Amino acid sequence: MIKRNLTRCLVTTALAGAAFAMPTAASADHHATNGATMHHHHEAAPLIPRDALFGNPTRASGQISPDGKWLSWLAPKDGVLNVWMAPVGNPDDAKVMTDAKDRPIRQYFWSPDSQSLLYIQDKGGDENFLLYGVNIASGTETTLTPFENTRVQVIGGSESIRDKILVGLNNRNPQFHDVHLLDLNTGTLTMVLQNDSYAGFMADDTLTVRMAMRQNAEGGTDYFRVVDNAVAAEPFSSTGMEDSLTTNPAGYTNDGSILYWLDSRGRNTAALYAEDVASGERTLVAQNDKADIGGTMRDPKTGVIEAYSAEYLETEWTAIDPDIAAALEFLDSKLEGEFGVQSRTDDDSTWIVWNDPLTAPSATYIYDRTKGTLEHFYTTRPELEGAPLQPMQPVEIASRDGLTLPSYLTLPPGSDADGNGRPDKAVPMVLFVHGGPWARDSYGFNTVHQLLANRGYAVLSVNYRGSTGFGKDFLNAANLQWGLKMHDDLIDATNWAIDQGITGKDQVAIMGGSYGGYATLAGLAFTPETFACGVDIVGPSNLETLLSTIPPYWAPLVKVFHTRMGDPNTEEGLALLKAASPLYKADQITKPLLIAQGANDPRVKQAESDQIVGAMKAAGIPVTYVLYPDEGHGFAKPTNNIAFFAIAENFLSECLGGRAEPLGDVLKPSTTQILEGAEHVKGLEAAIGS
């Protein structure tokens, strides 16, 4: 067993997924470094510049083409992340393949035939992602899904049919994705299956649709066989609500004979099963008592699972295939800290491997399995070399009703002279809450943790009940508990940190994005004495309006929200949603609050921030409100991220007394609009006028 956070080679997502989670850039850039640098108390650690943490990486998301001839990566061109490539034998002979001028490209991949580079892009954060392709020989770029107000889904790729993929498009009906066959080289789209009721589909290696999924009345999922593009009338398998977010089909082997499942039915944690498609017989492949089986590595030729992971406090990988086990052991012997496989050639002779060495910025390597060589490809953020980056500590915290909350603590440099994981004296703390809520915090480099720790704060991230990966009992303990037991968990974690001497009673701020933004508003409105101040990033303030404005393509999943949050169509459910909405207790807020919102957010509409800001103004309560007109659910542009965190660190500095890099002219390159309360953040009025 290797305790390493290998990136999944095949990603399968839950049907409803992390609904209000912040979308993350799909790049290896999320791992940089965790190295601890000790400093004496009289000697403050140097300030890490915001640009070094939130600016563009030098390179990220390295991949190798399936045929093994080309290397590719994301890197800035004129300040905007674009896709670059170079011959495998000469990485310095690089050329830029895309021409994004405004919004960074954050997700790209190779076509199976290695003839083109594909990427998805939306407009201003609206999450209507379209698919684009660049022919590597001619350099010609094509919009492969040329539609307005459409969001593409990639349904299937193939080992045997290299020039086509299956995509879902909701251009006919915004609620449902029809299945199309896309010829990657001609751009021809052929409708395969018109969809009027299903939430998702799964195909095999022949690009034949084999399964359809639809929510049932219970809030679970029904799974239907598809034969000749006709969906069976009756499901062959189903889940109830309690298993709906912890049970998912995880794909077919390439010959279509085995269907893998991540399945929690009849148990707590999701185990990995292999189902014989012909007989229906299921074999248990892997299980873990504390965590769901999460990622898998598959043989590129056969689709057979070679290794699997489970993530409790840290990620543990177990190899089934002896050759994969030997390869992972080799990498383990060569690399310090965390590593993972992020790209593989068809013949599996070459891997692209990321490494988080814990004492230096993350690096990416080319692993030639035939020669047994590991060659440096690039360092993601070389400007972090020598920076006083801090280790993240996994900790377990008990909730008041006996649950264990897997959590992560980062301390300021120089605060823990004896290295016992606790500061020598209490320091101010930021409780940094993850979005979702059906998502999780993980171990490893975290940009926000590093910024805040560097500024003098302890940072605590808590996997409160409802977080995913810890089994269905933990997940379902959050049902109908928004603002109730989910919030109690955050209070319990705060009290734990105070009891441990990590922080003091009036020294804790709460901060987060999406559900974490909601938790911030709830913290300040429902428990106004607990937190010294709050930072809400794209958080909902009114759960009733949140549910009434979800994107149309979430309609097939709406039952999940109603069963887990409260059903607005029932008197009892509506009362629950209103009671859990910070908007109605906005007049209880007494502590400083900073709110940031993207104007184009399709998940948490701008009205969610507008409403609570309006209510606070009406009650004469000060608030600072920052709007980004060209962003959505979270901020993609580095200039906007840098500007926002500049405001946030100066806001926190005034509230908790930590350090801050002055604002200077940081707002100039960004689209930041200060709609309210510039006077409440040190230097903000001057920065607006500069």
- By CB atoms closer than 10 A (0-12, 13-18, 19+), residue 451 is buried
User: Count of residues for the chain?
Assistant: 690
Contacts for 602 with CB less than 8 Å, ≥ 6 apart: 126, 127, 128, 551, 632, 633
- What pairs with residue 134 in β-bridges? 117, 141
Task: Tell whether 521 is covered by a domain.
Answer: yes
Tokens describing residue 643: 């500007």
588, 618 contact by CB (below 8 A): no
What's the rounded Cα separation, in Å, for the pair 408 and 432? 10
- Sign of the torsion angle spanned by Cα atoms 269, 472, 495, 391: positive
| Euclidean distance between CA atoms 217 and 249, whole angstroms | 20
The identity of residue 278, as a single letter, is: A
Q: Is residue 450 part of a domain?
A: yes
CA 512 to chain centre: 13
Hey, what are 60's tokens?
A: 């990220």
CA angle 216, 218, 223 (to 5 degrees): 35
Distances (CA, A) of 479 to 208, 467, 497, 563: 37, 11, 26, 7
pLDDT at 557: 84
Q: What pLDDT does 23 receive?
A: 45
Query: First and final CA of the chain: distance in angstroms?
Result: 56
Does 615 fall in a domain? yes
Point out the catalytic residue in the list 416, 601, 653, 680.
601
Rounded-to-integer distance, Cα 273 and Cα 263, Å: 7
Angle subtended by helix axes 558-565 and 571-579, to nearest 10: 70
Yes or no: say if 156 and 202 are a contact pair by the CB < 8 Å rule.
yes
Among the listed residues 119, 145, 140, the one whose alpha carbon sits nearest the alpha carbon of residue 63: 119
What is the reported pLDDT for 170? 96
Q: Of these residues, 31, 177, 449, 633, which one is catalytic? A: 633
In the listed set 122, 143, 164, which residue is the last one of a domain according to the structure? 143
Find the helix or strand (DSSP H, E) in which 685 lies. Answer: helix 684-689
pLDDT recorded at residue 456: 98
Question: Residue 146's pLDDT is what?
Answer: 95
Of 108, 143, 178, the residue that ends a domain is 143
* Most distant pair of Cα atoms in the chain: their distance: 73
Q: Mean pLDDT, consecutive 10-residue segments, the chain of 690 residues?
A: 39 40 42 33 80 96 98 98 96 96 96 97 94 97 95 95 97 96 96 96 97 93 97 97 96 96 98 97 98 95 96 94 97 91 96 87 96 97 95 96 98 94 97 97 93 98 98 98 98 98 98 98 98 98 95 86 95 97 97 97 96 96 97 96 98 97 96 96 91
Residue 25: what pLDDT? 36
- Does 627 reside within a domain? yes
601 in catalytic set: yes
CA gyration radius for the chain? 24
How confident is the model over 325-353, as pLDDT tens digits?
999 999 999 998 889 999 999 999 999 99
| Within a domain: 242 | no
Residue 338 has what pLDDT?
85
Nearest to 142 by CA among 73, 190, 189: 189
Distance CA 292, CA 475 (A): 11
Residue the block writes with tokens 């045929």: 67
Name the pairing type of β-strands 258-263 and 248-252. antiparallel
Q: Looking at residue 8, what is its pLDDT?
A: 28
- Residue 560 DSSP SS3: helix
Residue 555 is predicted with a pLDDT of 84
Q: Give CA angle at 44 (42, 48), nearest 5°.
A: 175
Tokens of 551: 């994107």
d(CA 502, CA 441): 20
Taking the CB of residue 229, how many other CB atoms lie within 10 A of it?
12
309 contacts 295 by C-beta, under 8 angstroms: yes
Task: Confirm if 367 and 386 have CB atoms less than 8 A apart.
Answer: no
Is residue 76 assigned to a domain?
yes
> Which candidate in 61, 72, 514, 609 is catalytic?
514
Per-residue pLDDT, 275: 98
Distance CA(512)–CA(437), nearest Å, equals: 11
Question: What's the structural domain count of the chain?
Answer: 2
The pLDDT, as a whole number, for residue 645 is: 98
What does residue 61 show for φ and ψ, rounded to 5 degrees? 55, 45
Residue 471 sits in a domain whose CATH number is: 3.40.50.1820
- Annotated catalytic residue 514: yes
CB 163 within 8 A of CB 111: yes
Question: Which of 143, 170, 196 is the C-terminal boundary of a domain?
Answer: 143
pLDDT at 396: 98
Q: Is residue 175 part of a domain?
A: no
pTM for the full predicted model: 0.93
**Predicted local confidence at residue 689, as pLDDT:** 84
Sheet architecture: strand order including 176-183? 153-156, 164-173, 176-183, 189-193
CB burial of residue 127 (10 Å; 0-12, 13-18, 19+): middle
Who contacts 429 (Cβ-Cβ below 8 Å, separation ≥6)? Answer: 457, 458, 459, 460, 494, 497, 502, 503, 507, 508, 509
* Domain with 87 in it: 59-143
Q: For residues 376 and 669, what is the distance between their CA atoms, to the nearest angstrom?
A: 34
DSSP-derived 3-state class of residue 278: coil
User: Is 204 inside any structural domain?
Assistant: no
Which pLDDT score is estimated for 304? Answer: 97
Q: pLDDT tens digits, residue range 185-204?
A: 999 999 999 999 999 999 99
